[in-house]
Amino acid sequence: MAHLWSGRFAGDPDAELFAFGSSFRFDKRLFEDDVRGSLAWAQGLARAGVLSPADAAAIDGGLRAILDRGGADPAFVSETHGDEDVHAFVERELVALVGDAGRRLHTGRSRNEQVAVDLRLYLKRRLPAIERAIAGLVRALVDLAGRAGGALMPSYTHLRRAQPVLVAHFLLSHCAALRRDAGRLAAVRDEIDELPLGSGAIAGTAYGIDVRALADALGFARVARNSIDVSGDRDFVASFLHAASLGMVHLSRIAEDFILFTSEEFGFFELDDRAATGSSLMPQKKNPDPLELVRGKSGRVIGHLTGWLVSMKGLAAGYNKDLQEDKEALFDAEDTWIACLHATASVVGGLTPNQATTTRAASGLLLATDVADYLVARGLPFRDAHEIVGALVRRLVDERRTFEDLSLEEWRQHSPLFGEDVRQAVTALASVEKKQTPQSTHPKAVAAALAETEEWLTAVANEP
């Protein structure tokens, strides 16, 4: 079989080494993007007078036929042809369809810039699906917050009970992180919004291509700054992998929280049967496998980022074949991220809050800060209040009691500032209702945050 570069060589490449270097197996995912890039390039050549109108029309018709065929029949874009990569595949098919005109398409162009443009076009069309999957998980968390209503639960620092919060407030904390992930995708979208074409293999192209018009045709905001940089730049792959890694870190933390909170020890949420698996040995087991897998898969996406940074770091300026390694990392990170977003949304969609358990867990010694605030409201410096309540807590721990068990007399043994009203002041509900800032767990602040999240979800749903 003739390759895109066969003329330089006396014989065929070693079959095994050729297969080793071939990327068609995975870069066929870029099929649609490669054809679109070539359609624009052919128009650019025609406008520059490099292609005759007849050749340009033949190429255009051929590429559109190839695109249609690929869309209608996925088996068409398959491994069987022995092509080195998707670029070789499309060019060979084009020549087979339109003959010599097809052999003029690659004028002034290199696969180095072609793969750079393809990968950018690919990401541009794939990023919205990831954003929608993020929104799908936010939707599931917001719906769960709706099912939890005004239920209270403990919040934790150091995984020790800290202060009462609304269950909805806890769920919205994960929404906040997920929305940062969506923001990071927008930053990647901006980084890739740059046309590589016109860079040639490394030094630019010797034909009068109107790259600004080409950028407009392909929907890029800017034209690349430097042809050498274009040839070897895969920073945007690292940026995407970083966004995916942090996204997976967030999913892993969500998974960890629900693995804990659905355990017998916490019992804050009940896992739906369809989101759990049993044990082959222990009949009582209801395991949160999907959540554990999400947590586990975060490691491999982080591995892709680390691996890719290491692959790039030693490269001399310009294209190096090492760069071909970007695609499997990117595609797997994308697939894994989306699959984990869907799986997590599905599990969260089946969770039932156990209000009695969370509310019970939200009372007791975690109201200590509220006791201190009670004294502060009566004029005591916070440090003194902290010390008094610390001693009170120590006593209650020793006596295995909590604030609710104290008589007024006992309260007053610790400070004369305590009055009858301390009982109403020191409850989980009073605690959340005392919070005043917009990011707090005050029920009104949480309601506003839920409404604002709904607005964000509507905005994402209405994006083109």
Q: Which is nearer to ligand ARG, 122 or 261 (CB)?
A: 122
Helices vs strands, H then E, count in the chain: 19, 6
Examine residue 266 and tell whether it contacts ligand ARG (CB under 6 A). no
CB of 128 to ligand ARG, least distance (A): 24
Q: Is 23 in the site for ligand ARG (CB under 6 A)?
A: yes
373 binds ligand ARG (CB under 6 A): no
**What is the closest distance, in whole angstroms, from the C-beta atom of residue 32 to ligand ARG in the complex?**
16
Q: What is the pairing mode between strands 222-223 and 194-195?
A: parallel
The minimum distance between CB 321 and ligand ARG, in angstroms, equals 6
The answer to whether 113 contacts ligand ARG (rule: CB under 6 A) is no
- Among the residue ranges 109-117, 267-275, 336-344, 369-377, the one whose residues contact ligand ARG (CB under 6 A): 109-117
SS3 163: strand
Residue 324 interacts with ligand ARG (CB under 6 A): yes or no: yes
Verify binding: residue 120, ligand ARG, rule CB under 6 A: no
Tell me the window of 45-53, 121-129, 144-152, 319-327 that interacts with ligand ARG (CB under 6 A).
Answer: 319-327
Under rule CB under 6 A, residue 347 binds ligand ARG: no
85 binds ligand ARG (CB under 6 A): yes
CA distances from 367 to 153, 384, 430 (A): 12, 17, 10
The whole-angstrom separation of Cα 260 and Cα 263 is: 5
Question: Is 233 an interacting residue with respect to ligand ARG (CB under 6 A)?
Answer: no
Supply angle C-alpha 155, 157, 158, rounded to 5: 140
Nearest of 352, 331, 181 to residue 252 by alpha carbon: 181
In the complex, minimum distance from the CB of residue 322 to ligand ARG, in angstroms, rounded to a whole number: 9
Q: Which two tokens stand for residue 72?
A: 């209608």
Residue 289: HSE in the Cβ half-sphere, 13 Å Cα cutoff: 9
Residue tagged 């939707």 (tokens): 139
Helix boundaries (H) for 362-419: 368-377, 382-398, 408-414
115 near ligand ARG, rule: CB under 6 A: yes
Please give the C-alpha separations between residue 407 and each of 270, 403, 419, in angstroms, as whole numbers. Answer: 37, 9, 11
> How many residues form the binding site for ligand ARG (CB under 6 A)?
10
Residue 91 CA to residue 374 CA, distance in Å, equals 77
| Choice from 36, 111, 295, 442 touching ligand ARG (CB under 6 A) | 111
Name the segment binding ligand ARG (CB under 6 A); options: 12-20, 33-41, 111-119, 300-308.
111-119
Identify which of residues 85 and 181 has a Cβ nearer to ligand ARG in the complex. Answer: 85
The stretch among 149-157, 267-275, 316-324, 410-418 that binds ligand ARG (CB under 6 A) is 316-324
Tokens 């892709």 -> residue = 304
- Three-class HEC string of 270-289: ECCHHHCECCCCCCCCCECH
Residue nearest to ligand ARG (CB): 324
Compute the half-sphere exposure of residue 257: CA atoms within 13 Å on the CB side of its CA.
Answer: 20
Contact between 227 and ligand ARG by CB under 6 A: the answer reads no
- Does 92 bind ligand ARG (CB under 6 A)? Our answer is no
Instruction: Choose, by CB under 6 A, the member of 43, 112, 336, 358 that binds ligand ARG.
Output: 112
What is the C-alpha to C-alpha distance for residues 393 and 400, in angstroms, rounded to an integer? 10
- The residue with tokens 């989306």 is 338
Would you name the residues annotated as active-site residues? 158, 279
Is 402 among the residues that bind ligand ARG (CB under 6 A)? Answer: no
Rank residues 118 and 373 by Cβ distance to ligand ARG and give the closer one: 118
- Which residues of this protein are in contact with ligand ARG, per CB under 6 A? 23, 27, 85, 111-112, 115, 319, 321, 323-324
